[in-house]
């Protein structure tokens, strides 16, 4: 019975696979957090920055979004080593995913801030709020709610993109599974297993996102 055999193999390799899953989660969380922080800055500059700064950041974002994330990962991995920045594959991968995430979050932030009607800023000014006051108590709370659904999608994109680190030798879940396949040749069962675990991970993220969305929704 091949399914039973596959389950046995998975069970036998449980610690290695769990370590892989742990890496996948750690890589994703770090990339998403750092990428979001960087992305907020990108978005703010794109919205409010002076023309020169805006131009530079626009190039940054367009370049990153025009490049496939796989190329970004390979480029970071190979390039960082020749310019004497000693990063492990693990770190180079997280660096690439962080850049990727930042450009996407930047565009989301820009879009949300632009979508808030001008009247909101005018109304905030008319009650005497400063630029920062307007931004933090009027614009940001509205923008964050708009950003949430797309941000959750970006998060799942990062989780999926983290599998690409397997190609540069980072033992995350996919490479962990591939190592088991190399020993057992159960590619059908184990690739299916990998896909299923990722499905569960992303499905959970999406559901959690929906839950938070409902929680913070403005009543109407």
Task: Return residues touching another protein (CB under 8 A).
Answer: 62-63, 66-72, 74-75, 78-79, 81-84, 156, 159-164, 166-167, 174, 178, 181, 187-188, 191-192, 194-195, 198-199, 201-203, 206
Shortest spacing between CB 80 and another protein, in angstroms? 10
Shortest spacing between CB 140 and another protein, in angstroms? 27
DSSP state of 48: H
Say if residues 124 and 141 touch (Cβ distance below 8 Å).
Answer: no
State which residue, 81 or 142, has the beta carbon closest to another protein. 81
Shortest spacing between CB 210 and another protein, in angstroms? 13
Shortest spacing between CB 163 and another protein, in angstroms? 4
State which residue, 20 or 135, has the beta carbon closest to another protein. 20
127 φ/ψ angles, rounded to the nearest 5 degrees: -95, 10
Q: Which residues are within 8 A (CB) of 58 and not within 5 positions of it... i.e. 6 or more apart?
A: 46
Shortest spacing between CB 135 and another protein, in angstroms? 29
In angstroms, the CA 105 to CA 157 distance is 12
State which residue, 25 or 140, has the beta carbon closest to another protein. 25
State which residue, 85 or 144, has the beta carbon closest to another protein. 85
> In 3D, which of 161, 146, 11 has the Cα closest to residue 99?
161
In angstroms, the CA 124 to CA 139 distance is 9
State which residue, 22 or 133, has the beta carbon closest to another protein. 22
Question: Which alpha helices (DSSP H) does 67-172 contain, by range?
Answer: 69-82, 89-115, 118-126, 131-134, 140-161
Residue 78 burial (10 A CB sphere; 0-12, 13-18, 19+): exposed
State which residue, 67 or 150, has the beta carbon closest to another protein. 67
Shortest spacing between CB 79 and another protein, in angstroms? 5
């Amino acid at each position: 019975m091949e399914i039973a055999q596959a389950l046995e193999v998975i069970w036998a390799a449980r610690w290695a696979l769990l370590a892989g899953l742990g890496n996948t989660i750690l890589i994703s969380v770090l990339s998403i957090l750092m990428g979001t922080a960087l992305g907020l800055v990108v978005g703010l500059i794109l919205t409010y920055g002076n023309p020169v700064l805006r131009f530079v950041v626009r190039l940054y974002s367009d370049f990153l979004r025009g490049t496939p994330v796989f190329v970004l990962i390979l480029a970071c991995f190979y390039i960082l080593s020749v310019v004497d920045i000693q990063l492990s594959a693990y770190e180079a991968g997280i660096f690439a995913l962080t850049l990727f995430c930042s450009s996407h979050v930047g565009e989301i932030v820009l879009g949300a801030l632009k979508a808030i009607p001008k009247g909101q800023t005018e109304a905030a000014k008319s009650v005497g709020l400063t630029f920062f006051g307007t931004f933090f108590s009027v614009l940001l709370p509205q923008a964050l709610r708009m950003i949430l659904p797309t941000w959750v999608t970006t998060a799942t994109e990062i989780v999926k993109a983290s599998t690409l680190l397997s190609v540069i030798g980072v033992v995350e879940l996919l490479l962990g599974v591939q190592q088991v396949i190399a020993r057992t040749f159960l590619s059908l069962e184990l690739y299916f297993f990998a896909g299923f675990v990722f499905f569960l991970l992303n499905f959970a993220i999406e559901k959690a996102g929906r839950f938070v969305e409902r929680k913070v929704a403005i009543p109407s």
